[in-house]
Structure 1
């Protein structure tokens, strides 16, 4: 194996752009797919729930297959980099199709949405699984791996800020107030930018950790190793519940602002923090600058943006804390505080705008600490497997993360639409029933608290603490050197 482990800043930035590209689409799916189906494409909530669940689970179960394929890919560019190149343009094309709104019959819309969503999640797997796996073979140095993860997730936060903080205003601006046209134009722009970034990732990265000939194994051996690997199983279940939570609360916030928060108090809050006067001054001084006058849209965007800014600050604390205390313990402690910041949303009245913003900011900071660690822990699981079994199967290990991500996204996203259907949501109504509003409120507080706590419980079965991290790294360095 090659043991060159030091990574340049250019390579770290180039690698991180791949996650920025993927997350322009992924964050849109996680935050706005249910909203797009129910309120833009006018698909009934129950049908939207079935589409998101069925399509997402097909993509999830494709991941182990993709992991086995990627582990057995051999080209002059490596095992995983070429998949980023091969899937770049199809990824962009399927993203555009998934957010297009051809005028079919009601059943035709459902079929179109299902087919395009399945195509998108399949190509996402073929792109993102090799991309994620690449972080495990760029370097074997765990400190450098933590650094790569930090770069990567700053890029994720840039994408998340763009989607959660700016997407709805951009949709209204690009579509001249027409959300249907706006979504199509914005997603086309994001897709083009994403293709360019994927190509940069391919050109700037290099695979350095390559299995030696004696480490070659069959799929049967890989699977046998996998299901004896308790940390892998723990991370699989943890990831599923983390992304159920993110998709559920993230997808429900837009309904929370539309249907629960007091519009008058949102408008007053924007005036108090001088946001509305600032926008008015920008419109007056910058010809062509446009921003929606809707207080709900502005407050929702600012709410998301505040959380994301503090997530980025949290990411900055992630590496030094993990280097000192170990990834597992830091992850668990930060996630516990972030979970409490979600639970308190149950107690906020419609007028409690400032309290909601403060809780979102605190949640963003503590959850931000966990973000790079989740992926770095999976890379450590790949090292753990090699350490235990003397065989490296990086991609199939990483398939746990992508499977969990896809399964969590599909379950959480379908829960958004399913809960809306169960609580009687009707997109034609200006004011929803008290029952519907209660379901929306539960979905941004109590329900995501439960799923976060289940995920946290999995950490009791993840045995790679700080001491074991050091042991694994030193033993593998010695093996690779020999």
Structure 2
């Protein structure tokens, strides 16, 4: 079937679609039976997703092409699609579910997931049949897991990239989870209503009623939507900047920009809604530029490993990065719960204490800035700059041709 990664996409496409449909279906079981069913199907869904997504990420980032400019382009296209999907889910999914189910969300979810599972399976099969792995290990290459792990831990760019990946997703988990508390407990509802009211009236006049009647929920939805739209704009500029200046330098520069623009502004702006939304738009733009670069840098680390050791280790490098990603999300979620508890958050209260409200403000500003700043500091020691990118690409191309 060709390659090490493509076959996994083929093998998991249909099972992933089937299990996704089952996980979002509601069988006519008793309560305990439903709990067991949910645990089993969700566990299978996570396992199949990992078995599919890891090869997919390695395929798109590491083995379709050895040209670093083309990798930048592939990664940018991939994450533009991701942001469009995220925007679609956040803005349109709930009304589609309610419409499909005639007001019954459970029925609507089953219907919508059936179509999404079918479409997703077809797209994965198209991916398998229309791609080819061009960067493959030499036929004589043989190495043990022990040797691969030894190579990894001697690979300083890999260690740095793994740590940065973990730190990025710690921040994303903290920030993403704390937004709802920020809008519910900190943002002034009257000011928010006054600010977004004209926009909601305009959207309603053209038939767009996706944000609901609650001003806080509507404001939260518009806040996220604005960030995502400008992330897409930023992603669109990512390739040109990376091709000209190198991934590391662009990543570091815009990491610093969005870290200070966003986290510092959110801390200082209090309840100035127009500036709060403006900071989210700037954050989306600056952060969008960095999104494709992280995954392209992981592919560069695989090239660096091959360049140094003369052995290709794409699979284990991408696998380790996925561990860092999941670890970051887990640590970030745990920190979110811990910090909320340390500030005395009580879900049963209609009005939180002043110290709790301060904590929610810190959770979307100062605390998430810390992992980002640590990541920026580490990138100063990441040696794969533009000059080295060109050198690695040229020397590996010469080796492969010979």
TM-score (norm 1): 0.75
Candidates 162, 181, 187, aligned match of 1:261: 187
Q: State whether residues 173 and 292 of structure 1, in contact with CA within 8 Å, keep that contact through their aligned partners in structure 2.
A: no
Matched ranges for 1:201-240 at <5 A: 201-240=127-166
1:85: how far off?
Answer: 2.1
- The unaligned stretches of length 5 or more in structure 1 are 1-75, 284-288
Partner of 2:57: 132
C-alpha distance 174-457 of structure 1, shift in aligned 2 (>3 A): farther
SS at match of 1:293: coil
Candidates 464, 475, 480, aligned match of 2:384: 464
SS at match of 2:383: coil
Q: State whether residues 166 and 301 of structure 1, in contact with CA within 8 Å, keep that contact through their aligned partners in structure 2.
A: no
Partner of 2:13: 88
In the alignment, the residues of structure 1 paired with residue 7 and residue 57 of structure 2 have an alpha-carbon distance, to the nearest angstrom, of 13
C-alpha distance 457-260 of structure 1, shift in aligned 2 (>3 A): same
Candidates 207, 216, 223, aligned match of 1:296: 216
Matched, 1:347 2:245: no
Candidates 402, 411, 415, aligned match of 2:331: 411
Partner of 1:155: 81
In the alignment, the residues of structure 2 paired with residue 243 and residue 95 of structure 1 have an alpha-carbon distance, to the nearest angstrom, of 24
In the alignment, the residues of structure 2 paired with residue 181 and residue 423 of structure 1 have an alpha-carbon distance, to the nearest angstrom, of 39
Matched, 1:385 2:305: yes
1:381-411 Cα shifts (integer Å, max 9, x gaps) = 1110111011101111112321111111222
Partner of 1:270: 196
In the alignment, the residues of structure 1 paired with residue 101 and residue 193 of structure 2 have an alpha-carbon distance, to the nearest angstrom, of 24
Matched ranges for 1:324-339 at <5 A: 324-339=244-259
C-alpha distance 449-390 of structure 1, shift in aligned 2 (>3 A): same
Q: Which structure ranks higher in relative contact order (CA pairs < 8 Å, sequence separation ≥ 6)?
A: 1
C-alpha distance 432-295 of structure 1, shift in aligned 2 (>3 A): same
Partner of 2:46: 121
In the alignment, the residues of structure 2 paired with residue 193 and residue 433 of structure 1 have an alpha-carbon distance, to the nearest angstrom, of 47
Matched ranges for 1:50-199 at <5 A: 76-95=1-20, 118-135=43-60, 136-167=62-93, 189-199=115-125
Partner of 1:478: 398
1:424: how far off?
Answer: 4.3
Matched ranges for 1:399-478 at <5 A: 399-478=319-398
In the alignment, the residues of structure 1 paired with residue 224 and residue 308 of structure 2 have an alpha-carbon distance, to the nearest angstrom, of 42
C-alpha distance 255-156 of structure 1, shift in aligned 2 (>3 A): same
Q: State whether residues 233 and 288 of structure 2, in contact with CA within 8 Å, keep that contact through their aligned partners in structure 1.
A: yes
TM-score (norm 2): 0.89
C-alpha distance 239-113 of structure 1, shift in aligned 2 (>3 A): farther
In the alignment, the residues of structure 2 paired with residue 383 and residue 207 of structure 1 have an alpha-carbon distance, to the nearest angstrom, of 15
C-alpha distance 468-187 of structure 1, shift in aligned 2 (>3 A): same
C-alpha distance 160-134 of structure 1, shift in aligned 2 (>3 A): same
What is the count of residue pairs matched by the alignment? 399
1:238: how far off?
Answer: 0.4
- The unaligned stretches of length 5 or more in structure 2 are none
1:99: how far off?
Answer: 5.8
Partner of 1:49: none
Matched ranges for 1:16-27 at <5 A: none
C-alpha distance 360-94 of structure 1, shift in aligned 2 (>3 A): farther
1:147: how far off?
Answer: 1.1
In the alignment, the residues of structure 2 paired with residue 444 and residue 165 of structure 1 have an alpha-carbon distance, to the nearest angstrom, of 22
Candidates 272, 285, 307, aligned match of 1:365: 285
In the alignment, the residues of structure 1 paired with residue 30 and residue 334 of structure 2 have an alpha-carbon distance, to the nearest angstrom, of 22
Matched ranges for 1:314-329 at <5 A: 314-329=234-249
1:353: how far off?
Answer: 1.5
